[in-house]
Chains A and B, each alone.
Chain A
Amino acid sequence: MNQELTKKLAPGHTTCAGCGIPVIVRTILGATKDPVIVSNATGCLEVTTTIYPYTAWKIPYIHSAFENAAATISGVEAAQKALLKKAKLKKSAKGGSAFGGKAKLVVFGGDGGTYDIGLQSLSGALERGHEFLYVCYDNGGYMNTGGQRSGGTPLGANTETEPAGLDSFGKSRNRKDLMEIVKSHGIKYLAQANVAYPNDLAMKAKKALETKGPSFLLVLQPCTNLWKFPTSRYVRLGRLATETNFWPLYEIEKGNYVINYVNKNPKKVEEFLKEQGRFKHLFEEKNKKVIKEIQKSVNGNWKKLVEMSGSK
């Protein structure tokens, strides 16, 4: 195993072959040299890294429930503050145990635990201004329980709870714009990233971890199992999502939008959709209009983003 990369998360976890979640975790936690405490919402990451009696985590790790990962980390932050005040923790941390100094606080949640179930505890923690980083790895559904729809599932996807069939074309609603919801809390740094661009992700993680106050990262995580593509292709799918402008890379720093990846000739969204089994039914004659609708919403979102960033 790679000693350098496995300092915080060891192998031996049971994520599906070809799942990008561990890459997201390692890239983000690798962006800081400070000790880290992780809180985790229920989801793929939680069930695969903590199979009793083994834990893949080499750092302090808390899982309490699905909906309150952000509330849990708020408590950790408050406790840390109180201990610092009582001078029980040294103020400057130089490696060593996480309890020897001030630690960075990171929450990992899936899209189910962020868009849907954990939204109110996240909103509360952002509003109270705790200093932590919330990372949402977005695989577009409740993938660990068989692919039920979530607020993050894109339009037209075939899901367990909104299956495609004679009368239905899969999910009938567009994705929630989580970035705008989080932005409206007035936090200093939030960004949308993609597991297929690790350097960009590491840069954003570094910025987010250095932010005073709450910060937020929304990271795309192509799910080999329920987006239905071969295990070897999560990076390829991630790249296609950004190259088609389905998943633009951008950051919002103190309210200013910066686009990190501009493709002058964006690919058509079909190229991203046709690689995935969950969109297979959209290529039937009767569902062609849904693809047009997806393309329209992708174009609209991109136009809005360009306007917001003030670039041309």
Chain B
Amino acid sequence: MTQYKDSTIKNDIKKAQKVGDWKYLSPEIDAKKCIGCGNCISFCPEAAIKIRQNIHPEKNKNSKGIASVDMDWCKGCGVCAVECPTHAITMKKVN
């Protein structure tokens, strides 16, 4: 068995393809509209969205958390924008 020990392929995120480069549309989150419900998180195929703390509570009193997208993995499919109940996400063309 020992000679096979090193041949196990382990998850190494550095070896992953840069799938973030695929996108031609990029999600933009309006921090004033986001209510931090997490609907986008459950439907994001890449698990690229998480809720960060609302650092400007004076701008948005409704929510403690605001969704934020990790652009390294987002493929720009736009599912989050369609599923957002408050239309806080818009897809903008990548230059």
Contacts and interface: CB of A to CB of B under 8 A. Distances in A.
Interface of A: 1-6, 9-15, 17-23, 26-27, 51-58, 198, 224, 230-236
B43 to A, nearest CB: 5
Given A2-B47, A234-B79, 5 more contacts: A15-B45, A17-B22, A23-B43, A27-B42, A231-B78
B78 A53 contact: no
B34 interface: no
A70 B45 CA distance: 26
B12 A11 contact: no
A26 B16 contact: no
B78 A235 contact: no
B24 to A, nearest CB: 9
Contacts of A56: 11, 16
A18 B78 contact: yes
Interface of B: 9-13, 15-17, 19, 22-23, 41-50, 70, 72-73, 75-79, 81-83, 91
Given A2-B50, A232-B79, A18 B45 contact: yes
Contact of A54 (B17, B45, B47, B72): B17
B77 A231 contact: yes
Residue of B48, B77, B82 most packed against chain A (CB within 10 A):
B77
B16 to A, nearest CB: 3
A209 B12 CA distance: 28
A10 B45 contact: no
Given A10-B13, A56-B16, A232-B82, A5 B77 contact: no
Contacts of B50: 1-4
B45 to A, nearest CB: 5
Given A22-B45, A198-B42, A235 B79 contact: yes
24 contacts: A1-B46, A1-B47, A1-B72, A2-B49, A4-B50, A5-B47, A12-B73, A13-B16, A17-B22, A17-B75, A20-B45, A22-B46, A23-B43, A26-B47, A27-B42, A51-B17, A52-B9, A54-B11, A54-B15, A58-B11, A231-B77, A232-B81, A232-B91, A234-B79
Nearest to A236: B82
Given A23-B42, A198-B42, A10 B11 contact: yes
Residue of A26, A54, A198 most packed against chain B (CB within 10 A):
A54
A246 B82 CA distance: 22
A5 B41 contact: yes
A3 B15 CA distance: 18
A20 B47 CA distance: 11
Contacts of A57: 11
B82 A235 contact: yes
